């Protein structure tokens, strides 16, 4: 009987719309209460209702729920703190533009970007990552990498006709009613003759012969417009091809100049040049001075204690570019050697420059020296990046 009474009470609650916010009930059928913001669950709902307790110092709860208080996050080194943790709000850290603070990993991660057909409902910033939502009726977004809310669809005027309705990923397409396309007179009744179309301003004019389509002045103007559009489109395509060819030529020229500059900067001995030409493996000038007979990677015992953050910006950009173009031995493999988890590397990969994000985050840690970085690069067999870093006390030789 008690069980039947509880079932009947629950049925009445559902029937009359008395919804339970927590979705849980006590053994007597009472809706379990949610703990307000700033409070956590002390005794879970069961025989009796939920018992809540204020969040102790160092923890917080920002929403009404049935969970315990969450430990406050700490901003990493070199990241300013916007606001300290309170009972109802987590610590807020001031990351660079295009990044947000991810408390579960304790780092600044790249902001997400909305795809075509989605709009922004929360901007990326101290509150968290950018939130996207599919554009609803009457709105659209044509941006492939969206950072704006959905836009309101265009409404065709009285002098226009709607060609295509508005969709989440494209705006309404309207056309002027005065624009005409080639039209053929319709058959008239049973005898098969065609009526002469009557155009404004040309009353009484007849077609030259039955069954012959007639062009109007508007049609001729439309044809001229189409030819003009085609000509402009062809010119644009030709210009794009010329631009792409120029960019490829310029890129090749810059690579050749960079290769010559590296060769001049290394000042390799004839023995080093011979080894490079014979084996096809890069050797720096310091590795040639190492008389160790063992094969593989060789490192001097003396470490370069210079900090990576103090490296000139142009050299940092060169290192990031080499790691970005590294293919199978690039920034992701370097991050694994430096101790980053796969989930953290996946977050870095969401940005446009993951190599820059990785090294910038690593440079904020203690002990981020060039010696440690060169050792990690040697482990993933990237002597070219070691040479770009110009570590004089740590040569890398691959035989």
pLDDT tens for each residue of 230-267: 889 999 999 999 999 988 888 888 777 776 665 655 54
d(CA 25, CA 33): 9
In the CATH hierarchy, which fold is given to the domain comprising 276-389? Answer: Death Domain, Fas (1.10.533)
170 with 184: CB under 8 angstroms? no
Has domain 111-177 been given CATH number 1.10.3720.10?
no
Q: Where are the domains of the chain?
A: 2-71, 111-177, 276-389
Residue 29 has a pLDDT of 84
Q: What stretches in the chain show pLDDT beneath 50?
A: 12, 15-17, 182-185, 187-190, 192-209, 211-215, 217, 267-301, 393-399
For the whole model, what pTM was predicted?
A: 0.38
Is 104 exposed, middle or buried, given 0-12, 13-18 or 19+ CB atoms closer than 10 A? Answer: exposed
Is 267 exposed, middle or buried, given 0-12, 13-18 or 19+ CB atoms closer than 10 A? Answer: exposed
Residue 4 has a pLDDT of 56
Residue 393 has a pLDDT of 41
257 with 358: CB under 8 angstroms? no
What is 2-71's CATH number, 2.10.50.10, 2.60.40.1180, 1.25.40.340, 3.20.20.140?
A: 2.10.50.10
Same topology, domains 2-71 and 111-177? Answer is: yes
């Amino acid at each position: 009987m008690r069980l039947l009474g509880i079932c009947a009470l629950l049925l009445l609650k559902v029937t009359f719309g008395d919804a339970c916010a927590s979705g849980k009930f006590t053994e007597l059928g009472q809706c379990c209460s949610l703990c307000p913001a700033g409070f956590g669950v002390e005794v879970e709902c069961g025989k009796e209702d939920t018992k809540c307790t204020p969040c102790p110092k160092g923890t917080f709860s920002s929403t009404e729920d049935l969970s315990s208080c969450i430990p406050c996050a700490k901003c990493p080194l070199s990241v300013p703190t916007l606001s300290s943790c309170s009972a109802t709000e987590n610590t807020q850290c001031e990351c660079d533009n295009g990044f947000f603070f991810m408390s579960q990993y304790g780092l600044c991660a790249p902001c997400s970007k909305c795809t075509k057909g989605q709009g922004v409902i929360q901007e990326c910033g101290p509150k968290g990552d950018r939130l996207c939502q599919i554009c609803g009726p009457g709105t659209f977004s044509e941006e492939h990498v969206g950072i704006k809310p959905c836009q309101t669809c265009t409404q065709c005027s009285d002098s226009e006709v709607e060609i295509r309705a508005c969709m989440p990923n494209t705006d309404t397409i309207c056309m002027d009613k005065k624009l005409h396309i080639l039209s053929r007179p319709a058959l008239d009744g049973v005898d098969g003759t065609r009526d002469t179309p009557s155009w404004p301003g040309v009353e009484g004019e007849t077609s030259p012969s039955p069954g012959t389509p007639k062009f109007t002045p508007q049609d001729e103007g439309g044809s001229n417009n189409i030819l003009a559009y085609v000509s402009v489109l062809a010119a644009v395509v030709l210009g794009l091809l010329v631009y792409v060819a120029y960019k490829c030529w310029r890129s090749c020229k810059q690579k050749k100049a960079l290769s010559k500059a590296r060769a001049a900067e290394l000042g390799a001995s004839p023995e080093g040049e011979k080894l490079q030409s014979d084996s096809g493996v890069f050797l720096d000038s310091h590795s040639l001075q190492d008389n160790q007979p063992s094969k593989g990677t060789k490192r001097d015992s003396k470490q370069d204690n210079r900090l990576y953050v103090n490296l000139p910006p142009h050299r940092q950009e060169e290192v990031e570019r080499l790691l970005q173009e590294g293919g199978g031995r690039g920034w992701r493999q370097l991050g694994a050697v430096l101790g980053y988890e796969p989930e953290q590397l996946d977050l870095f990969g969401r940005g446009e420059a993951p190599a820059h994000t990785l090294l910038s985050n690593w440079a904020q840690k203690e002990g981020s020296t060039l010696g440690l970085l060169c050792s990690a690069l040697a482990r993933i067999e990237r002597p070219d990046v070691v040479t770009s870093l110009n570590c004089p006390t740590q040569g890398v030789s691959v035989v």
